[in-house]
Chains A and B, each alone.
Chain A
Amino acid sequence: MSHETERPILEAKGVTKRFGGLVAVGNLDLTIKRNQIASVIGPNGAGKTTFFNCISGFYHPEEGEIRFLGQQIQGLRPDQIAHKGITRTYQNIHLFTGMTVLENVMVGIHLSLRSTPLAALLRNPLNLQEENAVLAKAYDLLDFVELDDQADMLATNLAYGSQRRLEIARALASDPRLLLLDEPTAGMNPQETEATTNFIRRLRDERDMTILLIEHDMSVVMNISDQVTVLDYGRKISEGTPQHVQKDPLVLEAYLGTSADKVDVGLLDE
């Protein structure tokens, strides 16, 4: 077990993704340790979401390799990567429309199920047992994200903050080892943001999960991250603890476009 904790959960080496002539992600190295919250920040267009798409299999990087628990995962399909234990959420919420809140979470449990269509047809005891377990687990997850009262509503009828939480619950349903959160607090008010921040921390502490986060809200990033990586124009310009990154002149330049020593660092704390 001690060996497990030492081994990095995700290793990216020299990952490059180009769109035509544009280098969206260039030669990126990133290592995430187990049970940590790692953040990726950077100005708009820095290649954060592209990097997420490379990890989750929507894009195949042209160069470099991505290892998850020591296994190469670049080039696999999204469903194969999900099977390895990586699940993500989206910058713009993507719920299954036309399905209830509970059903959305039940789809997330798909990977842990083994029932064949034949079993569903015959409804054999194992299948019944499994279906009951799905319902129970989905309900527990909704309970965890405090959406159990709205379980039977159409997912798209939920309030914005609830939709975000539902998306996270759906991602949790697949028991990921690594959870990729793409701007989980976008569009939230301060209270909701704080609740979400605490929620993410609970995921790490209570569910023993590793989390990779893209976030624009610096207070969230600096508050919960164990490690911060800063991207600009697809390249990594800084990496380290929040304190370290906050003081890095390159980071300030990337964000503000001016020489660093003249600017109050506190700006990033807002």
Chain B
Amino acid sequence: MLQASIRRFLDTIRSGLNTGFVAGLVIVFLILLGIPVEIENIALFSLFLVVTVAAVSLARRLREKPWTNLIKNSLALGAAAALIVLLFMSLINRWQARGIDVKQYFDKVNAQTVYLLSGVPEEELFANPTRDPLTGEYPEGEALRTSPMRLTFEKENGLRLFKLNLRIGGFYGFLLLLILVSVVSAILTRLTIQAELGRYRQQMSAALSGNAIAHWVILLLPLLFFLLLWISVPLGNREPILSLGSSAQELQLMISFGIILWGLVALRAVQPSDWNLSYYTQVGIVLSAVAVLTGLGLWHVMGDKMYFLATSDDPNGSRNISIAAMITIGLIAAAVNLWSLRSSRRFETQFTSTTVALALLLMPLYLDQFQNSVLAKVGIYVLLGLGLNIVIGYAGILNLGYVAFFAMGAYTYAFLSSDQQQIGQDGKPTGLKFAGNDDMVMQIAGWMTIAAVVSLVVVVIGLRMWRQRQTTRISEARPTLINLPERPSGGVTLLLTAVAIGTSVAVALVLQNSGLYKDIFGRVSPFFIGLIVGVLVSAITGIVLCIPVLRLRGDYLAIVTLGFAEIIRLMFNNLRDYTGGPQGVLQIPRPLPDNASGTITNIVMLYLVFLGAALVAFFSARLRQGRIGRAWNAVRSDEDIAQSMGIDLVQTKLLAFAIGAAFAGLGGMLFAARQRNIFPNDFDLSVSIEVLSLVIIGGMGSIPGVIMGAIALIGIPEVLRELETYRILVFGALLVVMVIIRPTGLLPMPLPQLRERAESLAKQFKPKREEQA
């Protein structure tokens, strides 16, 4: 009787035990392979990671089963993993104590495998001493590797709440931690699966509808993550409410990634719910969230003197401007919500996007310089990823030379702004001057900026005027869907171009002669000129490089684009007299007073990167939906058929390349401004590969996917910096696993579900058409 019930119990948790067993073995292997033995900081993360992955796979397997089953199983998972690790570690330690050197066998596996896989030479990986081949002894005083491997997770360094030490440590602490991690990961994964992972949105909303708790959990998670961050950082003179111990820096970074990731998941998962909240309730909920977040920000600015904007008079931060900016942000958020909540079905989206946007704006104020710079790096890669996503994810053109446009953007900005003077070996200036101190070049750049702005205005106005004349005589060649004129003919285009050029020249001349030019461009920092010119130059490079690859497909395309990237890099490397060669370009200015403090510079650069990424994400989303987005989609799916549907391949591909390149140029320009110094080696092949991998891992064609990919591939390795040597190994493994388990990426693009809308529109249009007939 008892036996039977025990067996039944074991049956229900078998999945958990199995997964836990495997996870435990993996942890043991990792420890033997050289991950630091002390269960602290980084090693703790790797344990978390393994257990998390195991819990994720468990949750996926059990997704149809009831919740109790999932929780029982994830408890079993954590316990099994912990027991296996402890068992093996105590065995190994016992053997070590008796003088049996277990580790030496693994050292061999370790060194050779890692060398083969990563290419990192053995000497660098293992600075530890090796046995003397004659005596079999370790050199004196250096018997580091023979020391027993202990699990040291000290109670004293454990988690703290306020000043209270939770005294989680030692054996039980370890056990508890693994169990906790596995349960939390399993539950989060289950929620995610329910909410998002289907490609069909209807399935998601079906899974969520009627489940108010899951709904609210998903809505509130970004906010909860933000509050977690808030209580874990020291504010002003106050101690943090929740002390995260010695690995606080990394944990806080993980939490800030959590804000972004759960924001993305929430934005995708939430569907208009069945509850009919009145307009005032909705407004009330959203506005109180805005008030809480803005209030926290204001408190930090005023109470803790966290001034995040600087002027040249107040290089360490201006109180009034910071407060004004914070209040403005709150007011804008409130106004936007008041306006857009009028259509009732947008409450969930509005709530999530508002809280996530505000949390993102406040986050940099609570993080330190290192954390902010990691976020900025992730942001720049998001920018690059979104650009490449247009080329490869939308239009399906495999581009391995994407770094070329990144480099063009960075160098264009560097040339236009750096005031560096190269000093030769004899101590005299070498004559290499950058545009930053060359009036002529700056003037040309200024004119280019004027031309770009004026031409845009002229073309937009001209086209509108031309169209108004045209509406009276609709083209007979091919009826348009709605009453729209034909595209402008060649003559009109030429005329418009001529007018645009003429006006630009005239405006430039007037500005120049009236002395207004100096007034305007003397004040505008090179940053904004560099922004426009850098993006333009990258887009033009994109078009020029695209022309030869238009006819190529597949492998050939990859090879040719790869070649381009190397040509551009080598050009910057070898044209010493013009580019500074391997010494790079130094002293690139930022859009800030020269004497602004480091913290403020970091925060402002991060905001600029966020702004750029948001803009690019917005552009991508909009472009995807219209005529050009469908054309890209069709070209990716089948070029020939797309062409026979009337899609102009040349135009479509050129546009994808140019837009992708422009985004990369923006990324490069921000990169140069952030780094201050750039070198040709910053732009080698590995950047292309990393961007490509993050697009593939995140999910080709999916904007949230790219952001998630950037966090997974760029952000997490920064957190696990001590494992740097294993990064390529992990990279490769992750790619392989991804391609097998989730070939469409972490957050693939859901299929658009347009039927209902199409049906109602069709009904709307029908009477009109019958009238016409």
Listed in ascending order, the chain A residues whose CB lies under 8 Å from chain B are: 56-58, 77-79, 81-83, 85, 87-88, 90, 94, 96-100, 102-103, 106-115, 117, 119-121, 123, 126-127, 129-140, 143, 148, 151-152, 154, 170, 174-175
Contacts and interface: CB of A to CB of B under 8 A. Distances in A.
Consensus secondary structure, chain B interface: helix
Given A79-B647, A107-B633, A152 B753 contact: yes
Interface in B732-773: 751-755, 757-759, 761-762, 764-766
Given A96-B633, A170-B645, A102 B758 contact: yes
Interface string B485-512: 1110000000000000000000000000
B444 interface: no
B480 A79 contact: no
A117 B484 contact: no
Contacts of A109: 481
Contact of A88 (B637, B644, B647, B755): B644
Contacts of A148: 755, 759
Nearest to B456: A118
Contacts of B628: 115, 117, 120
B100 to A, nearest CB: 57
B461 interface: no
Contact of B645 (A77, A108, A129, A138): A108
Closest 10 CB pairs of A and B: A120-B626, A82-B646, A139-B758, A111-B646, A96-B637, A151-B755, A139-B762, A136-B761, A136-B765, A135-B758
A83 B478 CA distance: 8
Nearest to A176: B646
Nearest to A85: B478
B619 interface: yes
Given A58-B640, A96-B633, A175 B479 contact: yes
Given A107-B634, A121-B623, A137 B641 contact: no
B428 interface: no
Which of A83, A108, A113, A151 has the most C-beta atoms of chain B within 10 angstroms of its own C-beta? A113
Interface string B620-641: 0011011111110110111011
B643 A119 contact: no
Given A107-B633, A113-B480, A148-B759, A136 B764 contact: yes
28 contacts: A57-B644, A58-B644, A79-B646, A82-B644, A83-B646, A96-B633, A98-B633, A103-B752, A107-B647, A110-B645, A111-B646, A113-B480, A114-B480, A115-B626, A117-B659, A120-B622, A120-B623, A132-B761, A132-B765, A135-B757, A136-B762, A137-B765, A139-B758, A151-B758, A152-B200, A174-B645, A174-B646, A175-B479
Given A98-B637, A110-B647, A151-B755, A130 B630 contact: no
A133 B752 contact: no
A4 to B, nearest CB: 12
Nearest to B744: A98
B655 interface: yes
Given A79-B646, A139-B759, A110 B631 contact: yes
Contacts of A136: 758, 761-762, 764-765
A96 B484 CA distance: 28
Nearest to A151: B755
B642 interface: yes
A114 B485 contact: yes
A22 B186 CA distance: 65
Which of B481, B486, B646, B754 has the most C-beta atoms of chain A within 10 angstroms of its own C-beta? B646
A151 B633 CA distance: 17
B645 A107 contact: yes
A212 to B, nearest CB: 15
B648 interface: yes
Given A78-B644, A107-B633, A113-B627, A135 B754 contact: yes
